[in-house]
Amino acid sequence: MSLLAIRGVSKKFLAEGKEMVALQDIDLDIDENEFICFIGPSGCGKTTLLRIIAGLEEATRGTVYLDGMPIGGPGPERGMVFQEYSLFPWRTVIDNIVFGLELRGVPQAERLAQGRQYLKMVGLERFESRYPHELSGGMKQRVAIARALVNHPKALLMDEPFGALDAQTRNTMQSELLRIWQEEKKTVVFVTHSVDEAIYLADRIVIMSARPGRIKDIINIDLERPRSRTSPEVNSIRDRILCDLRSEIVTC
């Protein structure tokens, strides 16, 4: 049985008094420990779908199941990492990381021990007493990843987490994320606009159509990691994805 099962999910919004269909009839199974990327034109509903999986929004029709149980709202079994770092500026790095454990009533000594374990995993153990304004963008996102992982989620949901980073830092963070994923053995559902990023990271890439968002194509990436970003195999996959995307550039 899949970890996540998306069944007949559609989402409609009201915009200026008119009904807008953001997602239509999404069906997908996501396996345990799988790294899956969603890519598609702007406005195709990628983030909306991710938020439905997170329980932050409700589908108009259809259901998302986690371990066979319908998702009815947010829960610690799904950790969310946003493009904006969303750290509390008044809390130190370690206090940001353990915030979820604090809400759940985990004793201080235990939550600090767990927080430091994940702080070390993301390579920031020397920065636990710093505040967010003292960190670079890449460091802030490492804190956000550690904060999501410390709650031991079954799935890590990531909405363009490296979109605001410069190219060099972004490449570094992609490699770091793969290292953490391989250590933690989590299911990762990752939204991106970058074809290169999707190919570098994913086991499968789900290509979405223009609004209303549907699954247009699913590409399995059977290349060993670490992947060369310029190999003939990668170039061939890139060409296929870009061809799919070009056909979806329409006025939404």
Q: One-letter amino acid identity for 23?
A: L
Check residue 252 and give its pLDDT: 37
Mean pLDDT of 180-197: 95
Mean pLDDT of 109-127: 95
The pLDDT tens digits for 45-84 are 999 999 999 999 999 999 999 999 999 999 989 999 998 8
For 39, the enclosing helix (H) or strand (E) is: strand 35-39
Cis amide leading into 212 (omega within 30): yes
The full set of domains in the chain, from first to last, is 1-77+153-252 (3.40.50.300), 82-152 (no CATH)
| Cα(40)–Cα(214) distance, integer angstroms | 10
| Cα(135)–Cα(133) distance, integer angstroms | 6
Mean pLDDT, the chain, as a whole number? 93
| Cα(98)–Cα(110) distance, integer angstroms | 10
Determine the 3-state secondary structure of 145 from DSSP: helix
**pTM here?**
0.93
CB 156 within 8 A of CB 149: yes
Please give the full DSSP string across 170-215, using - where no structure is assigned.
Answer: HHHHHHHHHHHHHHHT-EEEEE-S-HHHHHHH-SEEEEEPSSSB-E
